[in-house]
Amino acid sequence: MKRLILFFLGILLVNLTYSQDIVVEKVRNAISIGGEAKILIPMAEIKDLDLLANTINLDYPKGNNWLAYVNEKEYNNFLKLNLKHSFFEEGNSPKALTMATNMAQMNNWDKYPTYEVYDSIMRRFAQTYPTICKLDTIGFSVNNKLILSLRISSNPNQDIDKPKFFYSSTMHGDELAGYVFMLRLSDWLLSSYGVDQRATDIINNTQVFINPLANPDGTYAGYGGNSNVSYSKRYNANNIDLNRNYPCPVAGPHPDSYQWQAETLAFMAYSDSNDFSISANLHSGAEVLNYPYDCYYPSVQSHSDANWFINVCMDFLDSIPPSAPSSFFTDVSSSGYTNGGDWYRVSGGRQDYQTYFKYGREITFEISSDKRLATSSLNNYWGYLRGGLISYIENCQRGLEGYIRDSATNEPIRAKIWIENHDQFNSEVYSKTSTGYYYRPILSGNYTVTFSAEGYQSKTITNIQVINGAMTIQDVMLAQNEVGLERIEGETQFTIFPNPAKNVLKVSLNTFKSVKNTYSIKNALGVEVIRGRIANKTTNIDISNLNRGIYFISIGAKTTKFIKE
């Protein structure tokens, strides 16, 4: 009897092994064809969700499984975990999606545009509304496709002193709904200016940037080429997840072990140039608003403005009309929003990069449980989401703003704005070097705020009242330090080259009046790695001992990013 049981157990083990071998073969075959594959992992198999999330790219729960994406390297590492899994075969029969092959076919916003039509629509916006819209090129994809952004404001050709807002969609190329919605939102804003009060107020009081398609290589991939999104994929042309490719407060400059991709570098440079105050990154595959941080459990590190994030999420959700399904925005959290770390922790996301390293406020909008939303559903979903997408931009009309200037010369100052007993962990904001303008989104309340800049006496102002639904203006004059003043005049303007740099970073000061000024170089985690003295107007800094990655050099009140090769 015992031998018989062992015999059947042996047969079962052979069958299970054979079955898993077939799965591995299918996954590897899919990767060899498209560069990525989807797998399902039973939740009962998962003992360490954090480990799994940082080994492969988890997407969302599907029944009793987690759906995940893998490239070749990720799958090899995943197999070392010895977890049972199955191949998700949806990609073998891609959903047929109706495409617009000319601009007229996009009039009803119920189709996905070909790449050429998308490019034409973006150019038409700028040509039709030149006084309120400018077309920016953020950069180029790995396959040299344009990454475009609309700059919408009352003076789009100038960097005016208004809060900057940024919408970006579809950095995962197969998450399509936001792509069309960003085009449609742009059309509404531009065509409604001077006609609709909300659109007019937004454009008059905010600099709005809209990037409908962040990963064109992923969206227009495979057999469809530029004319079909049915074969779209998550990763970029190098088969790398762009939303794991950013510097991370926890895991360092390269949490995914890959070099920054062309798309990542382009977006980081665009953010450097624009200092967005509030932003959102549109995805699909779930229905939830995900706020920072993704890389921390909130019990370990929460954002000081967590209540602000929750409040704006609730405003978004309150705008969803009764016509939406009762299950809308409930598949992850019954409230419709979640802290990223409470959902599942990931490193290298753009949300945490923008919020921590750029002192911004970014939320990830998961707007449709269906990644490739059917074209027949686009108009319905726009109706559900339109109000929330508009109201989120309007948050830029509330909070605290003003100018910080030198009390003796009236020159602008780049200064830190710090909310006492509130700010922590890079939640402060900074004024613009060129004009001294600052904007701080914050909930209504009574605050004590400290304004500080190198070479100046800090000023703390109490009882600053921020009123609900309004903008509070607080201008500040800072006095220069009176004793022991050793500083480079003005705002310490300097340039660095080359960038990226390999062994030597050259620093050139526009003006030089002291031999006792210091420079500080910090890594992406904010840890100082080099400090030295400025001895001449042009100084060579030895960076040969630094690891490859992103660094920040500060002289006086100015900080500039550079890349060590």
pLDDT at 1 over 70: no
CATH topology of domain 21-92: Alpha-Beta Plaits (3.30.70)
The answer to whether 261 and 147 are in contact (CB under 8 A) is no
Boundaries of CATH 2.60.40.10 in the chain?
A: 494-564
Judged by DSSP in three states, 324 sits in: coil
Neighbours of 421 (CB within 10 A): 8
Q: What is the pLDDT of residue 511?
A: 64
Instruction: Give 68-89 pLDDT, tens digit per residue.
Output: 999 999 999 999 999 999 898 8
Superfamily (CATH) of domain 399-478: Carboxypeptidase-like, regulatory domain (2.60.40.1120)
% of residues, the chain, pLDDT over 70: 92
In the predicted structure, residue 535 carries a pLDDT above the cut 90: no
Q: CA-CA distance, 150 to 297, in Å (whole number)?
A: 35
Best-predicted range by mean pLDDT (32-36, 111-115, 528-532): 111-115
**What is the Cα–Cα distance from 133 to 125, expressed in whole angstroms?**
7
Instruction: Tell me the C-alpha distance between 311 and 313, whole Å.
Output: 5
pLDDT, position 177 = 96
pLDDT digits (tens, 9 = 90+) for 242-293: 999 999 999 999 999 999 999 999 999 999 999 999 999 999 999 999 999 9
* Burial of 45: CB neighbours in 10 Å, binned 0-12, 13-18, 19+: middle
Q: Would you say 22 and 317 are in contact if contact means Cβ atoms under 8 Å apart?
A: no
Here the contacts of 459-463 (C-beta below 8 Å, separation 24 or greater) are 460/420
Listed in order, the ranges of the chain carrying CATH 3.30.70 are 21-92
Could you please state the CATH topology (level 3) that the domain comprising 99-397 is classified under: Aminopeptidase (3.40.630)
Residue 469 CB partners (closer than 8 Å, separation 6+): 398, 444
Q: What are 497-520's pLDDT values in tens digits?
A: 788 888 888 888 766 554 446 888
Query: Does the pLDDT at position 16 exceed 50?
Result: no
Range(s) within the chain of domains with CATH label 2.60.40.1120: 399-478
pTM, two decimal places:
0.84
What pLDDT shows up at residue 512? 55
Could you tell me which of 425, 424, 430, 472 has the C-alpha nearest to residue 451? 430
pLDDT in tens, 394-435: 999 999 999 999 999 999 999 999 999 999 999 999 999 999
Lowest mean pLDDT among 54-58, 154-158, 516-520, 545-549: 516-520
**CATH label, 494-564, candidates 2.40.50.100, 3.40.50.300, 2.60.120.640, 2.60.40.10:** 2.60.40.10
Instruction: Classify 91 as helix, strand or coil.
Output: helix
pLDDT of 94 reads 64
Please, where in the chain does CATH 3.40.630.10 lie?
A: 99-397
Q: Quick check: 366 and 290 in contact, CB under 8 A?
A: yes
Q: Residue written as tokens 């330090």?
A: 481
Mean pLDDT confidence for 112-127: 98
540 neighbors 512 (Cβ within 8 angstroms): no
